[in-house]
Amino acid sequence: MIKKLIFTLILFYAFSLNAQDVKQSLIVAHVDVASKGEFKQKLISYHFLNGHFTGKDEVMTIVGKKDGKDYLRTDIGINQIYKNRYLITGIGNIIDLKDKKVMFDGRANLVRMGNDSAIYYTNDAFKGKFYSVYNFKTNSYSEVKNLTFKAKPGQDVEYDKTSPPYKLFLYPPSKPKVQLVADAGYGQTVEGSKPDPLLWWLDNNNFVYANFNKENTEITFNKINVESKNQTTIGKVIITPEKQQAKFIKLNELEGLFLFGQKQILIDIKNNKVTDLQFSKDDNGFCYETKATSSGRTVKYNNADCGKYHFQPKNFVTNKNIAALVKEIIIGTDSYQQGMGVWNFDTKKWENVNCEDVLTLIGIINE
């Protein structure tokens, strides 16, 4: 009887351990160094069992350049994974990681996800302005023909970049345009070009915009009401020029993040305050030092330090109980990759994973 009880307990313990096994995959885009003009990117899945590396396999290879133009790019903007399966790139491409297919190769601004659909907005000098929808159930893409359809708050506001400083105009339906701001700044300088500055709509009548000074050394964040034309300054931040275009990310109705190079700038509408964050916003309990120092960036998990490494923010991703980063060594002004570090929740240590030519870390999915 005692032997039977002991055997039962051992089986129960073994089953409990197995039931707690967590399988996750880190999706990584590698540069295919053999390809040049096509800029091919290899999507590799690195597998982990309870935080321990168990192996890898190639998902697929995608082409980044087609006819000399950007095609499928994982290195522009912010990637996201939808339903633990679909990779949506920063320029709007959709790739099915399970069936290893390109579902949408067009380029558009992703507005939101929901109801098994990806909703895009296009504002192009040649194509015009319109919404479009990719339906994951039918695997189909189409433009929205309903002219009254709106997937995001706000009205038709655009910059006039004819002569600096820029001006902001409202374009009411069937009415003359209305000037909202006579001095909307000089815009961000991105490798010699001047993309439209970003707007963050709070509701249908109020938005926040970033006013860059002429030298691109300071950003002033202003809130505007399109009905009254009243403008309120929320705050200012000192900057240095960056190569990548900035991006607004909505956190909730009254908080947003302005991503600018290494900086994460928190815009607090409720308290009318702008904060240049010292540590990134919490992501599954992880955060990192936004400003790199000579010794690297401190990483924290649940507010406890868990190491300091040189890495780029784009190459830091998390999921429940796990984080990954691409380690670098800095020599002078040059940086060289030194494989990946993956945080193991059980051991509370970083596990080294050998790899080369990482373009960007896409994200971590549950298997």
pLDDT tens profile 139-183 = 999 999 887 788 888 999 999 999 999 999 999 988 999 999 999
Is the CB of residue 105 less than 8 Å from the CB of residue 117?
no
Strands (E), 165-314: 167-170, 178-181, 199-201, 206-212, 218-225, 231-238, 247-250, 255-260, 263-268, 273-276, 286-288, 297-301, 304-309
pLDDT of residue 115: 86
Which of 220, 226, 212, 235 is closest to 165 using CA atoms?
A: 212
Is the CB of residue 237 less than 8 Å from the CB of residue 268?
no
Query: The tokens 């607004």 sit on which residue?
Result: 248
Which of 357, 349, 291 is closest to 322 using CA atoms?
A: 349
pLDDT of residue 146: 83
The band of 3, judged by pLDDT with boundaries at 50, 70 and 90, is low
- Domain ranges in the chain? 112-147, 153-258
Residue 16, SS3? helix
Is the CB of residue 325 less than 8 Å from the CB of residue 315?
yes
**How many angstroms separate the Cα of 143 from the Cα of each of 107, 132, 352?**
13, 4, 46
Dihedral sign of CA atoms 273, 277, 279, 285 in order? positive
Alpha-carbon Rg for the chain, nearest whole angstrom, is 23
Q: What is the pTM of this model?
A: 0.87
Is the CB of residue 310 less than 8 Å from the CB of residue 330?
yes
pLDDT tens profile 287-310 = 999 999 999 999 999 999 999 999
Long-range contacts formed by 65-73: CB under 8 A, 24+ apart: 65/37, 65/38, 65/39, 66/38, 68/37, 70/107, 71/105, 72/41, 72/102, 72/105, 73/41
More confident of the two residues 127 and 116: 116
Distance between CA atoms of 367 and 365, rounded to whole angstroms? 6
Mean pLDDT, all residues of the chain? 91
Distance between CA atoms of 304 and 309, rounded to whole angstroms? 15
